[in-house]
């Protein structure tokens, strides 16, 4: 039963298998329905797939049968029963998705553009598979579903979109030789002997003979499962590092599968995909699920994109790409498939963003009636001359709020570029037009600070500013709330406390969200409901390259603050190894002696945190510094787990100069402005992203003398040094972001940069490489052209596209929440 696909023949082996399964069930699933194990014989019964003449449906069935049997012998009894019923169900039916459709060409090479006729049908079949929940895959019960949910996987599309982070090429077995010593190798060998030795550790030792007749040793430590899976006289595929031991060549802790089994075909003898995991799932486990999912993908070409888009970007076929992304036959295939999905994720994202933009542009808003010269009047009372970009941003806002459409504007500018002053203008404009404004800050510390700054700026032009934080007494809160409700307060600054139900405005006309990436969708929506379509200004210092900003914030109008206010001294950044720590603290002492202040930033709050042993924590660093390098100075700690009143008190003390140094976590990252602070030490700097480090160091250098940032690399690696060196060399947030993007790939960055709107970022960002982004402008153009003709994707020829889009951005899945 090796090949062929005639119905008669197929029925024979299926009949045989059905009988076997029934017997196994009858005998209580002991895996003994056949000599040598039920599963083993059953597997042998399932015939080879991938014969060109075979039907698509047939191939899917065979794959699935195999995957059900592969690990049968290791399952507990209850699951075996389930498997048997599954097997029977499968044997009784043909799969609905491709019943009767012949395979076009060979399964692995269907890369050709889709032929015009069957396209829609095949896409429909593909979509039906993709839309199914993962729970429809065999082996995905409630527990696995939970694990998958942690990976963001709900549908089969989600699962297949979970791209490999890399591949292992296990196509070519080698034999034991001098050259292969020290290498990771795949060796096919017959097991000669195996022994288990229980000492302090459980040791399994074995010998095997490779095809060339060379005998070598194998060893495993502390693996209870190895012994039971090995049997002398059987052939195995071993993969591990070959080392020279005193007994001769020895394979260390190899992974293995019995030769010729489906498991060996899946986990060895191919280009094997490796995935990002989460607890509760192993590489092998996830790979098996992928295999089953990929097995469901019809083997006919399918495409949901308009033909001109697919051909313009030279995209390989979609069904082919799904299979080849996970189980490529060579590197080239894997890369082509990855490129396909990278395109898809960018294209769908652009579509989504642009569709949203269409909708938002139509939302009516309250036009502000502003007399000419409001920008000038406001600028006149500022304690400084606004920069050209600040003025331009204020003009943008002025233009927006005058129109009867809701403003959706992003103010994007590096740390210290002066966004607060621009926000102040927006609040002023609202006041002039007779409306209230609300300013939302991500932390208590920032809310307090922004409230104070705005109060100073706006009091001279008659804007009454109040600050609402979580740490207030009931009566303080009550009096502010009533002032807001009666319109005695013009501008309310606060944390998400201002989103709470009890907070009612008299006439809210404008909202400002500072550091918007810190907020989720729900919060922004809540703010929108406080007024009648208030104009919206969001601000972000997230240093991302412009091409990317345009994409992520594609639904907003953007004003950028390009230059920093004049009169600043650059921050000198130094990179030190742990051995040079003392010199960093000597610098801190020097600055403090000159009357300045210092920040010390560490990655963890207390030593027990999951950052791992050896990571600097607030607690330990505090202890160490107060008894060592910074002994005798006034030091306090600041972190997110403190009560807000404590945080505020500490921050106030620091601002007023009654503390010399703050030992803090990244709570000081955003926006904190203490001009007298002139030095920052960052411990274990390699643990932070470049963008975070750049934001952190923006906390110093706000005064008018040279400031220093000392990056201490706790765990020095060449890569880490290269990355941190970017900060030493550049003070331009955008350039740093660009470098970061090159070094880490966009996935990482986009994963941490949150949009804050309801458009989730690209989905499977692991797929994207820096190079893919160069096509963004063109992709955006293609998406926008498409929408021009069919803004709601309602045309029949866009039906598949609309389905794919809602698969990617399901209505029930809100935008990703941050942190």
Q: How wide is the angle at C-alpha 542 spanned by C-alphas 538 and 544, nearest 5°?
A: 115
Closest distance of CB 424 from ligand ADP, Å: 9
CB of 168 to ligand ADP, least distance (A): 45
Based on CB atoms, which residue is closest to Mg ion, 306 or 671? 671
Task: Tell me which residue has its CB nearest to ligand ADP.
Answer: 418
Pick what 384 binds: ligand ADP, Mg ion, none; C-beta below 5 to 8 Å, kind-dependent.
ligand ADP
Q: Cα separation of 46 and 184, whole Å? A: 32
Q: Which of 696, 639, 648 is nearest to 452 (CA)?
A: 648
Q: How far apart are CB 97 and ligand ADP at their closest, in Å?
A: 54
Burial class (CB in 10 A: 0-12, 13-18, 19+), 231: exposed
Element (H, E) at 241: strand 235-245
Q: Which residues contact 661 (CB under 8 A, 6 or more apart)?
A: 588, 592, 597, 598, 599, 600, 625, 630, 633, 634, 635, 636
Q: How far is the CB of 458 from Mg ion (least distance, A)?
A: 16
CB nearer to Mg ion: give 324 or 441: 441
Displacement of CA 298 from its chain's centroid (Å): 29
Q: CB of residue 559 vs ligand ADP: minimum separation in angstroms?
A: 12
Pick the closest to residue 173 from 109, 247, 257, 233 (CA basis). Answer: 257
**Cβ closer to ligand ADP: 338 or 419?**
419
| Nearest of 383, 411, 392, 380 to residue 510 by alpha carbon | 411
Q: Which listed range, 147-155, 166-174, 313-321, 670-678, lies at the site for Mg ion (CB under 5 A)?
A: 670-678
**449 versus 469: smaller Cβ distance to ligand ADP:** 449
Runs of H (alpha helix) within 382-513: 388-402, 419-432, 444-458, 474-486
d(CA 205, CA 653): 65
Closest CB 78 distance from ligand ADP, rounded Å:
59
Specify the residue, 295 or 671, whose C-beta has the smaller distance to Mg ion: 671
Q: Which does 424 bind (CB under 5 to 8 A by kind): ligand ADP, Mg ion, none?
A: none
Residue placing its CB nearer to ligand ADP in the complex, 207 or 387: 387
The smaller minimum CB distance to ligand ADP, of residues 333 and 515, is found at 515
674 binds, among Mg ion, ligand ADP, none (CB under 5 to 8 A by kind): none
Question: Could you tell me which of 44, 56, 52 has the C-alpha nearest to residue 4?
Answer: 52
555: its two tokens: 């639904």
Q: How far apart are CA 590 and CA 165, in angstroms?
A: 47
Task: From the list Mg ion, ligand ADP, none, pick the one residue 375 interacts with, judged by a Cβ distance below 5 to 8 Å according to partner type.
Answer: none
- Interacting residue ranges for ligand ADP, rule: CB under 6 A: 384-387, 390, 413, 415-421, 541, 565, 671, 673, 702
- Choice between 12 and 391, CB closer to ligand ADP: 391
Q: Does 671 bind Mg ion (CB under 5 A)?
A: yes
Closest CA to 556 of 396, 408, 407: 408
SS (H, E, C) 523-556: HHHHHHCCCCCCEEEEEECCCCCHHHHHHHCCCC
Q: Each residue of 185-207: b (16+ CB within 10 Å) or e?
A: bbbbbbbeebeeeeeeeeebebb
Give the one entry of ligand ADP, Mg ion, none that residue 656 binds, where binding means its C-beta sits below a cut-off of 5 to 8 angstroms depending on kind. Answer: none
Angle at the Cα of 453 from the Cα atoms of 479 and 411, rounded to 5 degrees: 110
Supply the minimum distance, in Å, between the C-beta of residue 575 and ligand ADP: 24
CB of 584 to Mg ion, least distance (A): 27
Tell me: does residue 418 bind Mg ion (CB under 5 A).
no
Centre a 10 Å sphere on the Cβ of residue 39 and count the other Cβ atoms it contains: 24
Query: What does the radius of gyration of the chain's CA atoms come to, in whole angstroms?
Result: 32
Which of Mg ion, ligand ADP, none does residue 673 bind (CB under 5 to 8 Å by kind)?
Answer: ligand ADP
Q: How far is the CB of 747 from ligand ADP (least distance, A)?
A: 27
**467 interacts with, out of ligand ADP, Mg ion, none, CB within 5 to 8 A per kind:** none
Instruction: Find which of Mg ion, ligand ADP, none residue 418 binds, CB within 5 to 8 Å per kind.
Output: ligand ADP
Nearer to ligand ADP, 389 or 764 (CB): 389
In angstroms, what is the minimal distance from the CB of 714 to ligand ADP?
A: 28
Binding window for Mg ion (CB under 5 A); candidates: 29-37, 62-70, 651-659, 666-674: 666-674
CB-nearer residue toward ligand ADP: 267 or 419: 419
Q: Which residues bind Mg ion (CB under 5 A)?
A: 671
């Amino acid at each position: 039963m090796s090949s062929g696909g005639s119905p008669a023949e197929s029925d024979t082996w299926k009949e045989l298998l059905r009988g076997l399964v029934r017997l196994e069930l009858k005998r209580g699933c002991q895996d003994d329905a056949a000599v040598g194990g039920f599963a083993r014989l059953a597997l042998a019964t399932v015939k080879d797939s991938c014969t060109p003449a075979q039907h698509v449906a047939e191939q899917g069935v065979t794959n699935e049968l195999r995957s059900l049997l592969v690990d049968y012998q290791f399952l507990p009894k209850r699951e075996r029963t389930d498997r048997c019923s599954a097997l029977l169900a499968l044997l009784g039916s043909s799969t609905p998705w491709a019943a009767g459709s012949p395979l076009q060409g060979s399964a692995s090479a269907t890369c050709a553009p889709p032929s015009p006729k069957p396209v829609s049908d095949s896409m429909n079949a593909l979509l039906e598979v993709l839309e199914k929940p993962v729970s429809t895959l065999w082996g995905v019960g409630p527990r696995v579903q939970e694990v998958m949910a942690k990976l963001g996987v709900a549908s089969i599309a989600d699962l297949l979109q979970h791209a490999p982070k890399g591949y292992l090429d296990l196509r070519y077995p080698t034999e034991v030789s001098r050259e292969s010593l020290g290498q990771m190798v795949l060796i096919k060998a017959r097991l000669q002997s195996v022994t288990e030795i229980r000492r302090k550790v459980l040791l399994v030792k074995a010998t095997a003979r490779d095809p060339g007749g060379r005998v070598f040793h194998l060893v495993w430590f502390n693996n209870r499962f190895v012994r039971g899976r090995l049997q002398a006289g059987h052939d195995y595929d071993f993969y591990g590092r070959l080392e020279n031991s005193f007994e001769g060549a020895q394979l260390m802790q190899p992974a293995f599968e019995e030769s010729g089994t489906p498991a060996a075909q899946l986990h060895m003898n191919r280009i094997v995909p490796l995935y990002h995991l989460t607890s509760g799932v192993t590489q092998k486990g996830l790979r098996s699920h992928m295999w089953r999912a990929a097995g469901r993908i019809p083997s006919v070409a399918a495409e949901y994109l308009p033909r001109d888009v697919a051909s313009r970007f030279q995209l390989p076929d979609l069904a082919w790409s799904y299979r080849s992304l996970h189980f490529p036959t060579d590197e080239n295939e894997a890369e082509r498939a990855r490129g396909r999905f990278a395109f898809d994720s960018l294209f769908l994202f652009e579509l989504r963003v642009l569709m949203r933009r269409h909708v938002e542009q139509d939302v009516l808003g309250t036009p502000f009636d502003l007399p000419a010269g409001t920008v000038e009047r406001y600028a006149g009372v500022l304690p400084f001359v606004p920069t050209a970009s600040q003025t331009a941003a204020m003009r943008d806002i002025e233009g927006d709020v005058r129109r009867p459409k809701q403003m959706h504007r992003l103010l994007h500018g590096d740390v210290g570029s002066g966004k607060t002053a621009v926000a102040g203008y927006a609040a002023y404009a609202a006041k002039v037009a007779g409306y209230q404004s609300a300013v939302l800050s991500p932390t208590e510390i920032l809310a307090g600070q922004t409230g104070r700054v705005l109060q100073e700026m706006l009091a001279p032009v008659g804007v009454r500013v109040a600050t609402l934080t979580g740490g207030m007494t009931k009566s303080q809160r009550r009096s502010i709330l009533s002032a807001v409700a009666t319109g005695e307060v013009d501008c309310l600054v606060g944390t998400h406390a201002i989103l709470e139900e009890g907070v009612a405005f008299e006439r809210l006309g404008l909202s400002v969200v500072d550091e918007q990436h810190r907020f989720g969708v729900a919060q922004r929506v809540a703010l929108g409901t406080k007024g009648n379509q208030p104009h919206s200004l969001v601000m972000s210092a997230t240093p991302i390259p412009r091409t990317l900003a345009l994409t992520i914030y594609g639904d907003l109008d953007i004003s950028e603050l390009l230059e920093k206010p004049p009169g600043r001294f650059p921050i000198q950044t130094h990179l030190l190894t742990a051995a040079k720590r003392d010199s960093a603290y000597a610098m801190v002492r020097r600055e403090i002696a000159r009357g300045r202040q210092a920040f010390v930033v560490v990655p963890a709050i207390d030593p027990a945190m999951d950052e791992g042993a050896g990571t600097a924590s607030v607690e330990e660093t505090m202890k160490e510094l107060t008894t060592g390098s910074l002994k005798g100075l006034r030091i306090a700690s600041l972190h997110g787990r403190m009560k807000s009143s404590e945080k505020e008190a500490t921050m106030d003390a620091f601002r007023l100069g009654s503390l010399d140094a703050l030992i803090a976590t990244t709570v000081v990252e955003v926006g904190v402005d203490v001009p007298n602070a002139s030095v920052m030490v960052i411990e274990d700097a390699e643990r932070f992203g470049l963008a975070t480090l750049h934001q952190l160091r923006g906390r110093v250098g706000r005064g008018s003398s040279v400031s220093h940032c000392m990056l201490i690399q706790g765990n020095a690696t060449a890569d880490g040094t290269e990355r941190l060196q970017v900060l030493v060399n550049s003070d331009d947030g955008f350039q740093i972001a660009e470098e970061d993007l090159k070094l880490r790939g966009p996935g990482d960055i986009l994963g941490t940069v949150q949009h804050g709107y309801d458009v989730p970022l690209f989905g499977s960002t692991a797929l994207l490489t820096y190079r893919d982004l160069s096509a963004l402008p063109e992709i955006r153009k293609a998406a926008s052209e498409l929408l021009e003709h069919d803004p709601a994707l309602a045309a029949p020829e866009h039906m598949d596209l609309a389905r794919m889009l809602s698969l990617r951005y399901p209505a029930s899945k809100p935008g990703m929440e941050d942190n």
